[in-house]
Structure 1
Amino acid sequence: MHKSNAFIHHVRGSAVLMVSIILLIAVTLIIIITARVGALDQQISGNEFRHKEAFANAEAGLEQAASYLSANPSLHQGDADDGWASCTGLTAEFPCTIVGAQMVFATVTSSAITSSSVNALAAMPDADAYLVKTPFGTVAVGQGVSDDGTGAAMAQVTFSQANLLLTSDELPPLMVPSGDLSGNFNVVPNPNGGGPGIPVSVWAKDTLDTTGSNWKTCDHGEFKDATDICMDTKGDGVTGDDWQGCSCDIERSNSTDVTADIVLYSDADFPNSPFAYVFGGEDDISAADVVTLKAEIKARAQATGLVLANCTNLVSEFANLTTSALVWVEGNCLINSNITVGSRNKPMILVVEGEIRVNAGAETWGILVGLDDFVLNGGPVIHGSAISDIESDLTNGTYSQVYDESVLANLREEGINTEMTKMQYSWRDFTP
């Protein structure tokens, strides 16, 4: 009996010992696994941190490259004289590894890219900024590393060059859907508005009433102040005499003799929106797309031009604008008598959401686009084009509408009429 009890106690002791050993092994394994998981988590967290750090630096480099391109849009032409170097023989060198890379804006020596020309302007720690020319556009590239140098990342966006305006050769001095040509006004036509040597004074629908009062059109050489040809003798918006004494001498068209320079279209052939036509929209653009285009043009004005509530300070605000010619007015625009807005060398693209009213004695240089009522009182002079998006009788009065090739040519200047735009879906954070 006593031996049986001793045996039972012995077995129980062995079981306890075995369980203790198993538990000890399990705890040890758990500690080891936990330590390894903790170390792995630390590695993952460290890798994520270094990647985020490197990616933030890459995005900083990308932003620097994009900003540099925006400030120097002529680089989009890929002229070697501007500092572009060929990627020939450098296809294994970043960023010439980018698909389609033809040139890189960088210093290249001994078949190696030694430094980015963008970096040379303003170097950033742990980031490089590059520009790469491809057949698809200009690629802004940012390359970044983490502070310890073990993490790396890149980001890129492709930019293309877009024109703000339709070519001025295709703009008439006066474009209005319909209304009345009334008043004693003068229009000097675009001499090539209908093609080389084919002058155009007015584009409108064939419902335009041309029988009002004593309006007339004439060529540049016949727009005179007494015997002086005004284009040769009057001021440019900064210096020289005003244009108030100028009028048509020998007429091309008038209220009783409408000739080919007054171009009238059927409703189906006239652009749905003159505003959209000016800014490159399709002739048959839908109403919804017009709304979208207006938002885009306003956003461009917000980004590089001016967005004003009204025209109270238009002259001074525009005088200080150097990055663009585009001014968007959200309300009404009153251009008072005897003031000059813009000049031949610094013309304006003015878009007005509300009523635009130009009073007697005022001179404007550029393109005026009215989205609502367009009113010309007395005898203002508009050098460029007047575009009304809605039916209007804007020609009431004794004003002069003068097509000035230099004004429109200056609006085609690359720094004014072009901008770099991101190509949709071109952003990526890897090298394909």
Structure 2
Amino acid sequence: MKIHNSRQSLSLQRGAAVLLVSIILLIGVTLITVFAARVGVMDQRIAANEYRHKEAQAAADAALEQSSAFIENNTDLYEGTVGGTSPWKDCTNVAIKDVLPCKIGSKSYDLAYDGVIATTAIEPLEYTVSLTSNIASDSYIVYEASSAGNIITAIGTGKSLDDTGEAFSQVSYGKTTFITPGVVPPVLASGVDLSGSFTIIADPRVTHNQTDCKTVTPLNVSPITNDNGDILGDLSLWVDGSGSGGTWQTCGIDSYVDSSATSAWGGPLKCVYEYTDTDDWSNCACDPDDHLSDSGAGSSAGYTPTYDHPDIKGPWNVIEDFPDSPFEHFFNGKTVAEVKAIAQSDGIYVDGPCNDSHTAGYKTNAKPIIWCTGDATFTTSGEQYNPIIAVSEGKLKLNAGANVWGIFVGLTDFTANGGAKVHGAVIVEDTDTYSFLTNGDYEQIYDFCVLSGLQDDAVNSDIAKLAYSAKDFQSN
């Protein structure tokens, strides 16, 4: 009889169980390894795609910087005319209307800038620098006429080095002006202290069609009217409050005459129309029979506005409410810091006091402005057909006998001494804290040529980025 060995049977069973567990563990490890490998490969692909995207986006952003810089340095682009001074191509042309940059995605533009007009294709802007590794990066400029106003858009395109990633960047610009395109009164200040003998030649608020201010005559100007057809009166001081003393007067341009000479249109010579910056203006005075206002000796109450001249002085000005900041009103909403930065980049910037000698070369700058961080003293600055904008952070002073042409802006005190003549305007920011003081025979004279020269598009046009217009996107 055979005897069964139960111990050996149990040992064999334990071996089978170990084998089964080992196989299960091996399968699990294999699955984990395969999964980890797939995850690793996926991570590599994601990382590679992210790298290519960043490479393409960086190239697009670099191109956008190029086109944006080009726009900011070529304000004539805003002309937006095919065949004008800028080489625009018409995007309605069937050969280019559906290709970049005339069309990006579903967005179509009216014009595209192309420096090579002779070819059908739209060439990208030429670069001032090149990207390394021959990464594709192109800059374009397009123009769009819309109900919100004409818009220029800078576009940058970029590709990754292997051409598998493509990205776009864009930002839009709108036209703005350096100074207000509207009326600029001879004096804009929050309060004045007029002493001595003070004369204002008022802004008659007229329109004329002559592109050259030298052709303006009393015979070819038209008064500005309101919506009801009423003729708006002359504008002299635009102030918030009063406090003037001494003897002062306001007269119109036609009444500011030199009685010792004969006008080409008959009667006494009309100074503003017929004198230039080479004349001494010594005999010019308001016709005593044709004043708009006259304070009388020692008067501190000013004068009462009339129906014909409602805007000469005071809070009854009918153009608009007195601005919180005369400075920002004149510079079309720009802050002191913004205008200062413009002077540093496009004008003359003097860190300290300045005088006439510091204005040399102002006519050749992008903006005819001089900014002084200290006191400023002027005697012969500016010209009738090349006026200057002078800004002083300290005291702004006009010497006795000064004959200056332009807009003179003081952030603190303003003083004009005897015999000084300003052809243009004086703007003082804060006379509640500081002073607006005149001594002796001071004349503040509105001049067509000064204001039209500074408001001319060639000098006054700027292009500013539109808020929230920046956009980055990729096609793959």
Q: Under a length normalisation based on structure 2, what TM-score does the superposition of the two structures give?
A: 0.74
Q: Which of 340-349 and 101-110 deviates more? A: 101-110
| Corresponding letter in the other structure for 1:208 | S
- Whether contact under 8 Å (1:159, 1:423) holds in the other structure is yes
Q: Spell out the pairing of 1:187-202 with structure 2 (5 A cutoff).
A: 187-192=200-205, 195=224, 200=234, 202=236
| Equivalence for 2:99 | 93
User: Quick one: structure 1 residues 83 and 204, their matched pair in 2 at CA, closer, same or farther if it must change by over 3 Å?
Assistant: closer
| Equivalence for 1:162 | 176
User: Quick one: structure 1 residues 275 and 108, their matched pair in 2 at CA, closer, same or farther if it must change by over 3 Å?
Assistant: closer
Q: Spell out the pairing of 1:288-307 with structure 2 (5 A cutoff).
A: 293-307=335-349
- Whether contact under 8 Å (2:185, 2:238) holds in the other structure is no
Gaps of 5+ in 1: 282-291
Shift of 1:216: 5.5
User: Quick one: structure 1 residues 376 and 26, their matched pair in 2 at CA, closer, same or farther if it must change by over 3 Å?
Assistant: same
| Equivalence for 2:23 | 21
User: Quick one: structure 1 residues 312 and 115, their matched pair in 2 at CA, closer, same or farther if it must change by over 3 Å?
Assistant: same
Q: What SS does the aligned partner of 1:208 have?
A: coil
Q: Spell out the pairing of 1:182-331 with structure 2 (5 A cutoff).
A: 182-192=195-205, 195=224, 200=234, 202-205=236-239, 208=242, 212-213=246-247, 215=249, 217=251, 219=253, 222-224=256-258, 227=261, 236=277, 240=278, 243=280, 245-248=282-285, 250-251=287-288, 252-253=290-291, 254-256=294-296, 260=309, 263-266=312-315, 270-273=321-324, 274-280=326-332, 293-312=335-354, 315-316=357-358, 319=361, 322-330=365-373
Alignment equivalent of 1:130, drawn from 131, 140, 164? 140
Provide the identity percentage.
32
User: Quick one: structure 1 residues 326 and 158, their matched pair in 2 at CA, closer, same or farther if it must change by over 3 Å?
Assistant: same
Q: How many residues align?
A: 413
- Whether contact under 8 Å (1:324, 1:415) holds in the other structure is no
| Corresponding letter in the other structure for 2:142 | V
Q: What SS does the aligned partner of 2:59 have?
A: helix
Q: Which of 270-279 and 249-258 deviates more? A: 249-258
The whole-number CA distance in structure 2 between the counterparts of 1:313 and 1:378 is: 18
The whole-number CA distance in structure 2 between the counterparts of 1:344 and 1:12 is: 112
| Corresponding letter in the other structure for 1:346 | N
- Whether contact under 8 Å (2:60, 2:137) holds in the other structure is yes
| Equivalence for 1:366 | 406
Deviation per CA, 1:105-137: give whole Å up to 9, x if none: 137999964412x23787765211111111241
Shift of 1:226: 5.0
Deviation per CA, 1:20-61: give whole Å up to 9, x if none: 333333333333222222222222222111111111111111
| Equivalence for 2:395 | 355
| Equivalence for 1:105 | 113
Deviation per CA, 1:153-174: give whole Å up to 9, x if none: 1000110001122225x11222
| Equivalence for 1:285 | none
1:377 aligns with 2:417: yes
Shift of 1:8: 2.4
Deviation per CA, 1:326-360: give whole Å up to 9, x if none: 44444x42315xx4323334322233344322222
User: Quick one: structure 1 residues 393 and 83, their matched pair in 2 at CA, closer, same or farther if it must change by over 3 Å?
Assistant: closer
1:38 aligns with 2:40: yes
- Whether contact under 8 Å (2:87, 2:117) holds in the other structure is no
The whole-number CA distance in structure 2 between the counterparts of 1:107 and 1:387 is: 43
User: Quick one: structure 1 residues 213 and 221, their matched pair in 2 at CA, closer, same or farther if it must change by over 3 Å?
Assistant: closer
Q: Which of 401-410 and 227-236 deviates more? A: 227-236
| Corresponding letter in the other structure for 2:109 | A
Alignment equivalent of 2:14, drawn from 12, 33, 40? 12
Shift of 1:262: 7.1
The whole-number CA distance in structure 1 between the counterparts of 2:441 and 2:49 is: 74
The whole-number CA distance in structure 2 between the counterparts of 1:375 and 1:382 is: 12
Deviation per CA, 1:375-432: give whole Å up to 9, x if none: 1123332221112234454333223322222222221232431211111111111389
Q: Which of 148-157 and 82-91 deviates more? A: 82-91
User: Quick one: structure 1 residues 414 and 122, their matched pair in 2 at CA, closer, same or farther if it must change by over 3 Å?
Assistant: farther
Deviation per CA, 1:47-97: give whole Å up to 9, x if none: 111111111111111111111111111112211122111222344312222
| Equivalence for 1:334 | 376
1:84 aligns with 2:98: no
Q: Which has the higher helix share?
A: 1
Q: Which of 198-207 and 148-157 deviates more? A: 198-207
1:139 aligns with 2:153: yes
- Whether contact under 8 Å (1:166, 1:278) holds in the other structure is yes
| Equivalence for 1:115 | 123
Q: What SS does the aligned partner of 2:473 have?
A: coil
The whole-number CA distance in structure 1 between the counterparts of 2:109 and 2:31 is: 54
The whole-number CA distance in structure 2 between the counterparts of 1:110 and 1:402 is: 51
1:343 aligns with 2:383: yes
Gaps of 5+ in 2: 207-222, 226-230, 262-268, 298-302
Q: Which of 413-422 and 205-214 deviates more? A: 205-214
Q: Which of 311-320 and 99-108 deviates more? A: 311-320
1:423 aligns with 2:466: yes
Q: Which of 348-357 and 417-426 deviates more? A: 348-357
The whole-number CA distance in structure 2 between the counterparts of 1:79 and 1:311 is: 44
Q: What SS does the aligned partner of 1:383 have?
A: strand
- Whether contact under 8 Å (1:217, 1:248) holds in the other structure is no
| Equivalence for 2:165 | 151
| Corresponding letter in the other structure for 1:150 | T
